[in-house]
Amino acid sequence: MGLDFSKPTTKEIGDLGERKAANYLRRRGYWIKARNFRAGKYEIDLIAESLFSVVFVEVKTRNYREKDDEDAPAPGRAVDERKIRFTKQAAVQYLRQHPTWKKQRMDIIEVWMTRNKVFRIRRIKDVKSSY
Domain of residue 103, CATH code: 3.40.1350.10
96: CB partners within 8 A, 6+ apart: none
Q: How many domains does the chain have?
A: 1
In this prediction, residues 32-53 reach a mean pLDDT of 96
Give the whole-angstrom CA distance, residue 35 versus residue 65.
Answer: 28
Domain for residue 3, yes or no?
no
pLDDT of residue 67: 63
Domain for residue 48, yes or no?
yes
pLDDT of residue 5: 56
Give the whole-angstrom CA distance, residue 47 versus residue 117.
Answer: 24
pLDDT of residue 115: 77
Phi and psi at 52, nearest 5°, equal -120, 0
Q: Where in the sequence is the domain holding 112, given as residue range(s)?
A: 10-124
pLDDT band at 2 (very low <50, low <70, confident <90, very high): low
Angle at alpha carbon of residue 100, lines to 94 and 101, rounded to 5°: 145
Q: What percent of the chain has pLDDT over 90?
A: 66
Domain for residue 40, yes or no?
yes
Domain for residue 18, yes or no?
yes
79 bridge partner residues: none
Tell me, what amino acid is at 128? K
